[in-house]
Structures are given as C-alpha cells and as structure tokens.
C-alpha cells in the first residue's frame, strides 16, 4: 500500500510540473458494446485508465452519464462526446452504430450543453438556452416528440419551445424533465406509474405531461432509472414514484419519503434508491436482495417488517464516520464518493463483512448471486458522477466480487484523490 502511495505521489508531482489540473477517467465492467472507451469490445475486471486523444482535446469533462450500454460525456465547455452502443441512435452521431471511442456530437456544436442524461437506449441533452434535445430509441415515446419514432441525431423537443428546461433524467423507457419554475414533465413508458401523471394504468405517452402532486413543491433535482422516478425538493424532501421498492406496490404519484432527515442527492437503480443527507449519511430504499454494506444481523429485523405498503428508507450501515459527498447507483449496485482518506480501510472492512455473510448466512446469498459469482456476469454503473465532487469509488450495495461487476467512470480533479484512486486500484488487484 505504502509503495502505491509513493508511486502515486511521484506521478502527481510530474503532472504538477506540466499542467495545473489532472483529469483521469477510469472505466471497468461490461464492455462488449465499446462502452468502456478502451477501444476494445471486452469486459474489464479492473479499472482501466483511459487515454483518448479525442477527449483530451475536448477539454475537461464536467459530467459523465452511463446508460444501458452507452456513455455521454459533457465537457465544461458545453460540448458533448458519446461512445458505446449506438444501435438505437442513442449516441446522436447520425447513424445507428456502436462507437468504441469518444466522439463529438457535432449536431450539438452550436449549443452550449449544460446537462445530459443517458437512459437504457436513449439520451437527453439540455442547452443553457433552455432547449431540450433527445435521440435514440423512441418506441415508448421516451423522446417526447409526440410519436414513437427513434432518432439517431439529437432532435429538439418542440413541446418545450416556450419553456426553459433545466434538467433531464432518462430511465429505462421513460424520461423526466425539470423546468425552470420547478414543474416536472414526464413521457415514455408509464406502466409502473413512473410518469406520475395519472392514477390509472398508462401504457405510454409521447407528448410530455405534467407530473402530478408536485405542483406546489420547489424541485431542485430529478432522477430516473429502470421504472423508477425521483425528485428532491429544495427543502430536502425525497419524492419517489413508479415501480415499488422492496416488494411494495407501484406508486402512480410522487410520494414523499417519511424521514426526519433532509436530503441533498438521490440516485436510482432498477430496484433501489439511494439518498444522501445534508449530514453526509447515505440512506437506501429497497435493494436488499443483492446484499448490504454493513452488519447483516442489524439489518435483518427491518427486512422482516410486516407487509408494508411503503418501502422504508434505511440508513446504510458500515459507512459510519465517513463523510459521503456523492452517491451513484447502477442497476443493481451502488457507489459512494467521499473525501476522507479511510478508503482502503473501508474497503477491507467491507470485504470482511461480505465473507462473513457468505459463511454464516447461506440464505443471504441467493441462487442468483451464486450464479453471478460463478459465471462472471456483468454489472454497470448507470448513474452519473459529476465533476463537482472529487471521487474515490467503491461498491456498497453489492458483492465482494468487485472485479467482476462494476462499470464506472471516475473523475478526478485534485491530486489527493488521484492518490486515493491508486490505493483503490491496489486493493482491487489484491482481491
């Protein structure tokens, strides 16, 4: 470990002399559609440091969004690069082919893009002018153009021509849009209630509709993944709607989570939600079926609550003493970013827990999980990791088999974190 630290410091020193800021991007996990940006169509079990000339010339990356098998990178200069699976047009390059390397979305070059989101097979881009563009699979109406057509170049969503769009969140087959003035609009598949526009079952809508029950709430941010939707209000309340968490029924309108904590960030998977409190603690809704970070015995009683109609926000144990600054969720896994230098310790502690669980609780590891381990299947980080938080990253909602299941992209913008990341890599190699 110490040796890694030393090496890290050397590397940092070199960089310091040449350039004022270092940005490194790492990727790992499923890669058979080119989504890792490594130039290979292979899964990677360890974080790969990416070297792309095309990215370096585009300027520093401000935000990364990981979709089903594609990635959208937004530079601080408002430019957009995409790579990975493009079969539905989600890369926005005017053709429906995969791209192994980051490539600029040229049709957006006249706009300064400030927000992006990647869904299962569609993409959304918000310009500083308030214009919204979408491309990719539109067969559920998730592009918002009033039809069910797919597009391989970003098309402006004319419904919002007279509105100022601030954010977009793309789920598996639906999209949420946050307008300046705080209204949320939704379109695409609505079968699980994820649009929040009607009490009854809605198969899909292709024209944006206002999400109900939030008209009086000042919304700060939105999130979508799988068949879930979420919003955070400026006063710290978390609202979720769509597919139920942890076996609870679907909810067709936004529900405010009953918690005395105030939240500053939310991230969604396909079966769980993460929420970060203003006190840097992480809470989770659902998601227990693939394992926990923390003490299983302490968690168990809560799991066996009588059939509640509402999933309970539970604190993620095992992060005590860690100041978590950022959270991200993949379909079935989670990641946190934190500034404290306890990362290696945390990782070892967590691995020990997982092993203990394996031995003592065979029920804990379902057949599914055993298969996951045995056959080396793949998971990915669908969440995005933004520039604002220097990140050191590890899984918390999932397996000890880190080297098999994660794809993620790590942003680093200060030297201390480069150091953490090197330690992180060392640990991965040890396991």
Partner 1 sequence: MSYDDVEIEDMEWNVELQAYTYPCPCGDLFQITKDELRLGEEIARCPSCSLYITVVYNIEDFLGDSDQRNKKLEPPKQQPIAVA
Q: Rule CB under 8 A: which residues touch partner 1?
A: 30, 32-33, 35, 68-69, 85, 120, 139, 172, 191, 270, 330-332, 366-368, 371-372, 374-375, 377-380
Q: How far apart are CA 115 and CA 110, in angstroms?
A: 15
- Which residues have CB under 8 Å from 51's CB, separation 6+? none
- The distance of closest approach from Cβ of residue 94 to partner 1 in the complex, given in angstroms and rounded to an integer, is 21
SS3 assignment, position 382: coil
- The distance of closest approach from Cβ of residue 371 to partner 1 in the complex, given in angstroms and rounded to an integer, is 4
Of 226, 260, 258, give the one whose Cα is nearest residue 242.
Answer: 226
Is 64:411 a contact under the CB 8 Å cutoff?
yes
Q: How far apart are CA 307 and CA 328, in angstroms?
A: 28
Is 240:251 a contact under the CB 8 Å cutoff?
yes
- The distance of closest approach from Cβ of residue 188 to partner 1 in the complex, given in angstroms and rounded to an integer, is 13
Q: How far apart are CA 237 and CA 245, in angstroms?
A: 18
104-to-75, 140, 357, 375 alpha-carbon distances in Å: 10, 27, 46, 36
- The distance of closest approach from Cβ of residue 7 to partner 1 in the complex, given in angstroms and rounded to an integer, is 33
- Closest to partner 1 by CB, 44 vs 417, is 44
- Closest to partner 1 by CB, 120 vs 239, is 120
- Closest to partner 1 by CB, 35 vs 175, is 35
- Closest to partner 1 by CB, 251 vs 418, is 251
Is 29:381 a contact under the CB 8 Å cutoff?
yes
- Closest to partner 1 by CB, 156 vs 378, is 378
Is 345:398 a contact under the CB 8 Å cutoff?
no
Of 199, 223, 227, give the one whose Cα is nearest residue 213.
Answer: 199
- Closest to partner 1 by CB, 381 vs 392, is 381
The token duo for 78 is 């408002």
- The distance of closest approach from Cβ of residue 425 to partner 1 in the complex, given in angstroms and rounded to an integer, is 23
- The distance of closest approach from Cβ of residue 358 to partner 1 in the complex, given in angstroms and rounded to an integer, is 17
- The distance of closest approach from Cβ of residue 270 to partner 1 in the complex, given in angstroms and rounded to an integer, is 6
- Closest to partner 1 by CB, 204 vs 281, is 204
């Amino acid at each position: 470990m110490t040796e890694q630290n030393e090496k890290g410091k050397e590397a940092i020193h070199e960089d310091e002399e040449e350039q004022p800021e270092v940005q490194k991007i790492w990727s790992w996990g499923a890669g058979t559609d080119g989504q890792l940006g490594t130039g290979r169509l292979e899964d990677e079990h360890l974080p790969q440091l990416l070297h792309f000339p095309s990215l370096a010339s585009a300027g520093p990356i401000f935000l990364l969004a990981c979709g089903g098998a594609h990635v959208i990178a937004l530079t601080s200069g408002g430019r957009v690069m995409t790579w990975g699976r493009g079969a539905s047009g989600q890369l926005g390059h005017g053709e429906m082919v995969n791209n192994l390397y980051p490539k600029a979305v040229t049709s957006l070059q006249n706009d300064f893009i400030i927000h992006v989101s990647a869904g299962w097979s569609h993409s959304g881009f918000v310009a500083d002018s308030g214009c919204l563009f979408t491309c990719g699979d539109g067969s559920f109406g998730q592009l918002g153009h009033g039809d069910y057509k797919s597009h391989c170049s970003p098309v402006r969503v004319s419904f919002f021509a007279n509105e100022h769009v601030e954010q977009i969140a793309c789920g598996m087959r639906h999209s949420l849009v946050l307008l300046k003035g705080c209204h949320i609009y939704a379109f695409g598949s609505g079968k699980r209630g994820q649009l929040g526009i009607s009490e009854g079952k809605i198969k899909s809508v292709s024209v944006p509709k206002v999400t109900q029950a939030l008209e009086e709430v000042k919304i700060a941010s939105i999130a979508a993944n799988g068949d879930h939707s979420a919003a955070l209000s400026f006063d710290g309340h978390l609202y979720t709607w769509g597919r139920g968490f942890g076996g609870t029924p679907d909810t067709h309108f936004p529900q405010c989570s009953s918690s005395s904590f105030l939240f500053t960030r939310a991230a969604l998977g396909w079966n769980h939600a993460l929420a970060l409190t203003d006190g840097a603690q992480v809470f989770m809704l659902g998601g227990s079926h693939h394992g926990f970070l923390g003490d299983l015995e302490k968690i168990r009683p809560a799991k066996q609550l009588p059939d509640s109609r509402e999933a309970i926000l539970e604190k993620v144990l095992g992060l005590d003493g860690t100041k978590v600054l950022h959270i991200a969720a993949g379909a079935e896994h989670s990641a946190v970013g934190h500034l404290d230098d306890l990362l290696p310790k945390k990782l070892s502690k967590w691995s020990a827990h997982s092993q203990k669980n394996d031995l003592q609780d065979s029920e804990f590891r379902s057949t599914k999980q055993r298969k996951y381990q045995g056959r080396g299947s793949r998971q990915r980080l669908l969440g995005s990791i933004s520039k604002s938080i220097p990140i050191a990253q590890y899984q918390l909602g999932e397996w000890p088999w880190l080297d098999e299941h994660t794809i993620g992209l790590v942003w680093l913008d200060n030297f201390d974190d480069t150091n953490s990341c090197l330690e992180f890599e060392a640990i991965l190699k040890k396991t």
